[in-house]
Amino acid sequence: MRLLTVIALPAILFVTPVAGDTLAEIRERGSFSFGLEAQYMPFGFRGENNEIVGFDIDLAAEIGERLGGLEPVPVDTNWPTVILSLQNGDFDFILGGMTATAERYQRVNFSYPYMDASSGLLIPADSGIESAADLDGKRVAAGAGTPQIRQLELVADEHSITFSGAIRSFAEDTVAVAAMNAGRIDAYASTLVAMLEQASNTEGLTVIPLTSDQWSQEFTAMAFRKEDEPLRAEINRIIVEMKEDGTLAMLQEKWFGQSFVDILPNEAPSW
């Protein structure tokens, strides 16, 4: 008979991993990374030498200084999946002209607003479109992964109008502008300030506000993983500091031609 030798093994203690302190990690690292799509003027876009420039880039540099001289590292990513990329750890937080929405709040926590995010419609100047009610029978589009897609649906219901075909989406504003110039779409929805930027660079286009009682005032905010409260709190502190010392107003005036600081609450959007 073969005898079996039984060896007593030490008990193994299984511990549920605890989320790391991202704020402590970036300070130790000496840098922080942030996700954006570098196709969104004037928030973040490619300059003449293919470097990423814009309002968000300048803002990140200021945040880095106020965090103790940390290097900001922009990560150009696919906007429709930007929150998934954040959850996967591809970067530390999102700083990319993101509009705070109830749907996104289910997955992330927002910073205090740092910019207005009111919606606008980019249209041909001779289109005769004066409000959302004039979009009946028009070919409309919005930025891919943006809240303006849902807003177009809401205004269609509100005004009992029907668009010509489905709402199209474009990953890049410049591609949407080209489609409009080619006569393939009649109106394109995104944030008002971004559409003003496109109209200022393209002859024959203009912008009108896209407003409705169906949604509340919109703000641009940074987005964080739910567990990253220490980092979010520190960024909120810096935003307030930048409002109070005039830095945020200065950056807004540089990139948007005016300051929006007075309408920005020191309260994070939540639902």
Q: How far apart are CA 84 and CA 80, in angstroms?
A: 9
Do 146 and 95 fall within a single domain? Answer: no
Is there a domain that residue 5 lies in?
Answer: no
- Together in a domain, 76 and 196: no
Number of domains in the chain: 2
The span from the CA of 9 to the CA of 19, in Å, is 30
* pLDDT tens digits in sequence order for the chain, 271 residues long: 334 333 344 443 333 333 569 999 999 999 999 999 999 999 999 998 999 999 999 999 999 999 999 999 999 999 999 999 999 999 999 999 999 999 999 999 999 999 999 999 999 999 999 999 999 999 999 999 899 999 999 999 999 999 999 999 998 899 999 999 999 999 999 999 989 989 988 999 999 999 988 888 899 999 999 999 999 999 999 999 999 999 999 999 999 988 999 999 999 999 9
> 200 near 175, Cβ under 8 Å?
no
Q: Are residues 136 and 100 in the same domain?
A: no
**C-alpha–C-alpha distance, residues 200 and 186, integer Å:** 18
For residues 166 and 237, state if they share a domain: no
Distance of alpha carbon 22 from alpha carbon 109, whole angstroms: 14
Same-domain status, 157 and 223:
no
Residue 17 lies in a domain: no
Q: How far apart are CA 218 and CA 100, in angstroms?
A: 7
- Asked if residue 234 is part of any domain, the answer here is yes
Length of the chain equals: 271
- Same domain as 110, residue 44: yes
Mark whether 34 and 112 lie in a shared domain. Answer: yes
Cα 101 from Cα 54, distance rounded (Å): 23
Give the DSSP letter of residue 189: E
- Domain span holding position 176: 119-209
